[in-house]
Each structure stands twice: as C-alpha cells, then as structure tokens.
Amino acid sequence: MYVCLCHSVTDTDIRRLVRTEGVCTLRELSRELGVATQCGKCGRCAKEVLREAVDEVRNEMPCPGLMAA
Ligand code: FES
C-alpha cells in the first residue's frame, strides 16, 4: 500500500529499507525516501509501518544464548 503519496513510497519500500539499510527512525526514513517532508500527512502511518518493520527484524534475530551452544 502507498504510505506517502507525495513521494510514491509504499510499505514495501519502508520494510526493504529497514532490512537492507538498518533504518529505524522516522528521521532516517525521511532522509532516505523523503517521507513526511512535503505535505506531512503520511507521518503517522509511516511511523507505524516503520515500527512494525523494526519489530519484525528484531523478532527474527536469533537468541544470543543459542549461538554460543
Ligand atoms: Fe508523504 Fe505528503 S504524503 S509528504
């Protein structure tokens, strides 16, 4: 789905950036994709998608205790 119409940014774009570039703040997202830098209407939605994407990546990280075994 489109998150930012001004810059044609989708939730997939945001999720990809979190995975490939380690983006985890709205400021970084804005710098990379221009999200929330024009009309600003997408800010809240972008923040929600960003938080979900960051949580997904964190939940996929292996438990450090299992790596040592
Ligand atoms: Fe994202 Fe306008 S919809 S800046």
The full set of domains in the chain, from first to last, is 2-68 (1.10.10.1100)
Please state, as a whole number, how many other Cβ atoms lie within 10 Å of the Cβ of residue 12: 12
Rounded distance, CA 20 to CA 15, Å? Answer: 9
Q: Is the CB of 44 under 6 A from ligand 1?
A: no
Q: Convert the pLDDT of each residue in 6-56 to its tens digit.
A: 999 999 999 999 999 999 999 999 999 999 999 999 999 999 999 999 999
Q: Is the CB of residue 36 below 6 angstroms from any atom belonging to ligand 1?
A: yes
Quick one: pLDDT at residue 64? 62
9, 14, 42, 45, best to mutate for ligand 1 pocket (most atoms within 8 Å of CB):
42
Q: Residue 61 has what pLDDT?
A: 76
Calpha distance 49→65 (Å, rounded): 29
- At residue 8, the pLDDT reads 98
In this prediction, residue 46 carries a pLDDT of 98
pLDDT value at 60 more than 70: yes
